């Protein structure tokens, strides 16, 4: 389990110095995050990650030398116990898929509010998956295309509370945000999600949402 009393240690990588400065300022102003070092390209980011062993790497996608996707793949291939949060201006569906397939834990757009980015860093550190609501809509729309047939997979009905949790998950809410919305604890949310995964034969939040959409149990994110 992560120690939530200690600040989250972050390596920040973006090829624009002004952008890095702004992100660093609001991350550290939160009092819950420490930026150990900054990188202006992917190769430097990977070197700093290997050197400092941060809790979370916050990466842009398009960077010189190595992209955020390539850095993420390297982190996962080396089995470094580091959360990866992609913070980018790109919301194109191919980028989203490539990032998640590479092993990133979160994908947030730079248009998000400062507090949302801070919460995403903390959620990734706690082992949660985070998707910007705009990103979630695009990904779910792709996964729920009519030619995808999950009808042969065995599923169990969800309770009304489990459906509530899944609807909020589909909107990109973190476990903490779902708990606040439904007035339940993070641990209870995690318990509901575990049961949802089991009932829907799903291995992830996105897969569970996609399957529920394809079954008509919840509507696609609007």
How would you write the pLDDT of the chain (222 residues) with one tens digit per residue? 455 568 999 999 999 999 999 999 999 998 889 999 999 999 999 999 999 999 999 999 888 888 898 999 999 999 999 999 999 988 877 778 788 888 899 999 999 899 999 999 999 998 888 888 887 777 666 665 555 555 455 677 888 999 999 989 888 788 888 999 999 998 899 899 988 888 887 777 777 887 787 777 876 554
What is the value of pTM for the model shown? 0.66
- The Cα–Cα gap between 23 and 115 comes to 11
The total of other beta-carbon atoms located within 10 Å of residue 120's CB is: 27
Domains of the chain: 8-131 (3.40.50.2300), 141-214 (1.10.10.10)
Q: Would you say how long the chain is, in residues?
A: 222
Nearest of 88, 85, 74, 77 to residue 125 by alpha carbon: 85
């Amino acid at each position: 389990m992560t120690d939530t009393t200690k600040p989250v240690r972050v390596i920040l990588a973006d090829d624009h110095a002004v952008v890095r400065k702004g992100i660093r300022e609001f991350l550290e102003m939160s009092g819950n995050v420490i930026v150990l070092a900054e990188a202006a390209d992917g190769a430097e980011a990977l070197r700093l990650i290997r050197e400092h062993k941060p809790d979370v790497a916050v990466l842009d996608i398009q960077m010189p030398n190595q992209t955020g996707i390539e850095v993420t793949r390297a982190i996962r291939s080396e089995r470094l116990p580091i959360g990866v949060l992609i913070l980018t201006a790109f919301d194109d569906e191919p980028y989203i898929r490539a990032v998640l397939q590479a092993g990133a834990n979160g994908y947030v757009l730079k248009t998000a509010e400062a507090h949302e980015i801070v919460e995403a860093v903390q959620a990734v550190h706690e082992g949660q998956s985070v998707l910007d609501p705009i990103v979630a809509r695009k990904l779910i729309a792709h996964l729920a295309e009519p030619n995808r047939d999950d009808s042969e997979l065995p599923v169990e009905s969800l309770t009304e509370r489990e459906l509530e949790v899944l609807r909020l998950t589909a909107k990109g809410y973190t476990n903490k945000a779902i708990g606040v919305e439904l007035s339940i604890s993070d641990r209870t949310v995690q318990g509901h999600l575990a049961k949802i995964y089991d009932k829907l034969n799903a291995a992830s939040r996105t897969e569970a949402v996609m399957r529920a959409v394809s079954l008509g149990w919840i509507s696609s994110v609007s």
